[in-house]
Amino acid sequence: MRRGRRPALLSGVARHPAGGAASGRRSIIAGPDNALGRHGPPATEPTALVSSLLFPPTHHALFYLFFFFFFFFFFLLDPAAVEACSSTGVACTLACPTRSLRCPDANYGRRQLVAPPGLSGLAPTAGSYVSGQHYKGQPVTSTFALFFLLLLLLLLLQAHQSSSLYYILTPEQLYLSFYSVRTPSDCQIAPVRLRKQPDNSSIGRASYSKRESHTAITMQTKHFFSDPTHLVNSALHSLTLTNPSLAFDRQNKIIYRRPCKDTESKVSIISGGGSGHEPAFAGFVGKGMLTASVAGTIFASPSAEQVRRALLQRVDGSKGVLVIVMNYTGDVMNFGLAAEKGNAAGIKTEFFAISDDVGVGREKGGKVGRRGIGGGVMVLKIVGALAETGASLEEVYATAQLANNNLVSVGSSLEHVHVPGRDMPDPNSDDLVPHGEVEVGMGIHNEPGSHRMKVTAEEMIQTMLKQMLDQNDKERAFLKYSSSDRFVLLINNLGGVSTLELSALTAEVVLQLERDYKIKPVRTIQGTFLTSLNGMGFSISLLRLADTGLGAGKSFLELLDAPSEAVGWAAPIQTSTWDNQTSASFESASSPRAVEKPSNLTLDPAILKKVLSSGLDRVIKAEPLVTRYDTIVGDGDCGIGLQRGAEAILKEINDSSTPLTPDVLATLHRIIDVVENTMDGTSGAIYAIFLNALAHGLRAQDKSTPMSVTSTIWANALQHSLKALAKYTPAQPGDRTLMDALSPFINTLIETEDIRKAAEAASQGAEATKMMKASLGRAVYVGGEDEWVGKIPDPGAYGLSEFLNGIAEGI
């Protein structure tokens, strides 16, 4: 048994059915025991704890009563037990090991208490099971026991309320865990098997006692910050570091533009909402967009007082203020109340709630209406840019309404998100999205969507676009359009989708819009604008370009294209670039070698084919041995790679449809083309670099009249290739690489102009690698050098030496 480990009941570890922390992912919770947060979510604030105890959920009442009466009758009214412990100085202090909470078999990891030597007469009565050990300690009195009883109940109720203990303790475990303080060494333990597993259904947690889960927790639960307040304030402060025109009111969580001439005599735009949607909304504060943003805690609206202070103290209200938020009850109430306070204070204020989500239909949305999601960002950009032109409050408000009426959005997600600092989710909760499914229509606060489905990405997008554009869907046909209408498309990342996947999703959306709805967006905007923390999802938004009636420079498209200093608005393509689109491109040749200029360096094609074939055949025959070598000292693919390249080159030079010509450079470029397309990995790149440099070295010696390639020309070109290769790899002779064969070959050829001697030098170099220690390549990490040093040459060097010797044999 491990010593000194805190009992699981006190540690707050959220146990998953598999035995580890829930989902295998844990928030990084700072604490005295473990800075990496091994003990799960942080304790609830004292006020919340008192509240949860004074006003417990009704369906937990039986649970609390059960344990209260259990302790009351089992311990406090058992004077024999108290007297035995008190009179002998043996405190029944027992440690409950963590595994007792999750033992998969009927033993439950319990032990039967056996008295220490000299105290055999005080052995516990039959049926007393424990989850740890007992030891000598201080006497226990009824008052002392009552104190610890109340303390334990406090901890137990809190653990139950926060769901940080997924598997409920049996009465025995709970009774004995009550005494858990430490684990001594002066006791004897004997395993004991319970006759049957206790029935936990009577306390209302039967589903948690099962060792099964209908779904896996897949949400990302690791975070660098465990304190949500500190996290939000730090994130807001960072905006003032990236944009010097912004200021931060820490007390009220307000980001606002510093007063200057640009902000005077213009309508001010205030937005905001709960944190966790970054860059929205504070990231949209800046010239050309918002004037101020008010943040709440994560997924919670700021208070009306925070918004009032922003309206009265942090913006210029002389030309009026538009308060604009997403259509969520908390935001509407608090921002709306602040807007009314602004009007009451004499500041002309309008309020508008953006609602663009079609994931929830008309019937389900009821009087509340559509939710506000990713498309609302375009509304914020439009009204912000319009206010920057000096438009009146009435014009700005009317434009917000017009944009919202021509906007539809829908989102989808693979999983819900975990909020930093909050409890782990129930692994049996129906709220979790099962593995392999996607939830179409999910909101930005983990709100449920329209349905879940197992589909491909293409089918998912097809479903989403149908919800947005199907004119026959009475529940969701919020946007009427015709084939002549123009649209702006916005693809928004909910926070956790890689740029790679988001880009692929964008391409599929555009493809289906053109194919199925004959819609070709005039602007396609892709990025991270309105997130749900690190949500594994995205949203599609379409804005129909309606006429604002405000004249030149104030159309939806011009306002979206207008420059902005908001760090969260990432749409860098200028209007002129969009307007001057062209289909022009460089004409591509049928193959890279088609653009190479012919040379006057000649060699008999028959001789060249014979020499190359000799070397390539030898490489192919050496493949099994090279592969065996590389399996021992590398990853086993060297031989296959060389064989694949050799076979492809042989096929190319023997292609009767394109016979070789006397032009050496033309043939070399054909070989280069093959190598670059068939040989991958590091060795493929090395050979491609070397051969391209070889072509350069030959062309540098080309003359205006035809001339045969001599050994001197080859040697000079090879020397040039070796120098070029040194620019891209630090490998030198002695590093146990193919350089140990290549370098001696080239140097010997330069000195002797004898290719047979050069090939022999290559073989000696490859053989010498047997005694070398790898300093480059995968062999560095393989280890086990004692087993192959002196026996196994470098596979790359050996394979190259075989080719060079085959070349020498073919001449």
- Positions annotated as catalytic residues are 445
* Residues 6+ positions from 164 with CB-CB distance below 8 Å: 12, 13, 14, 40, 41, 423, 424
Which residue do the tokens 């007992």 mark?
Answer: 134
DSSP per-residue letters across 459-516: HHHHHHHHHHH-TT-TTT------TT--EEEEEEE-BSS-HHHHHHHHHHHHHHHHHH
User: What contacts 287, CB < 8 A, 6 or more positions away?
Assistant: 245, 257, 262, 388, 564, 565, 566
At 762, which amino acid appears? A
Quick one: tokens of 220?
């990302």
Q: Is 274 annotated as a binding residue?
A: yes
Q: What is the largest CA-CA distance in the chain?
A: 116
Q: Where are the alpha helices (DSSP H) in 493-596?
A: 499-517, 556-561, 575-579
| Rounded Cα distance, 63 and 67, in Å | 7
SS3 state of residue 710:
coil
> What's the first-to-final CA gap in the chain, in angstroms?
76
How does DSSP assign 754-799, residue by residue? Answer: -HHHHHHHHHHHHHHGGGPPP-SSTHHHH--HHHHTTT---HHHHH
Residues whose CB falls within 8 Å of the CB of residue 581, separated by 6 or more in sequence, listed in order: none
331 marked as binding residue:
yes
DSSP class of residue 295? E
DSSP 105-149: STTTT-EEEEPPTT-GGGPPPTT-EESS--EE-----HHHHHHHH
Residue 189 three-state SS: strand
Contact partners, residue 780, CB within 8 Å, separation at least 6: 774
**Cα gap 391→395, rounded to integer Å:** 6
**Structure-token pair, residue 361:** 């239909």
Cα dihedral value 366, 369, 373, 377, nearest 10: 180
CA nearest 135: which of 172, 189, 75, 97? 189
Q: Which tokens belong to 531?
A: 């997130």
Instruction: Report in angstroms the alpha-carbon separations of 97 from 67, 304, 764, 783.
Output: 21, 49, 64, 40
Say how far apart CA 638 and CA 641 lie, in whole Å: 5
Q: Give the C-alpha separation, 378 to 540, whole Å.
A: 12
641 is in an annotated binding site: no
SS3 readout for 594-622: HHCCCCCEECCHHHHHHHHHHHHHHHHHH
Strands 90-91 and 135-136: antiparallel
The side-by-side arrangement of strands in the sheet containing 349-354 is: 246-249, 254-257, 292-298, 268-275, 321-326, 349-354
Is 276 labeled as ligand-binding?
A: yes
Compute the distance between CA of residue 577 and CA of residue 573 in angstroms, rounded to an integer: 7
Calpha distance 45→770 (Å, rounded):
66
Binding-site annotation, residues: 274-277, 331
Binding-site annotation, residues for substrate: 274-277, 331
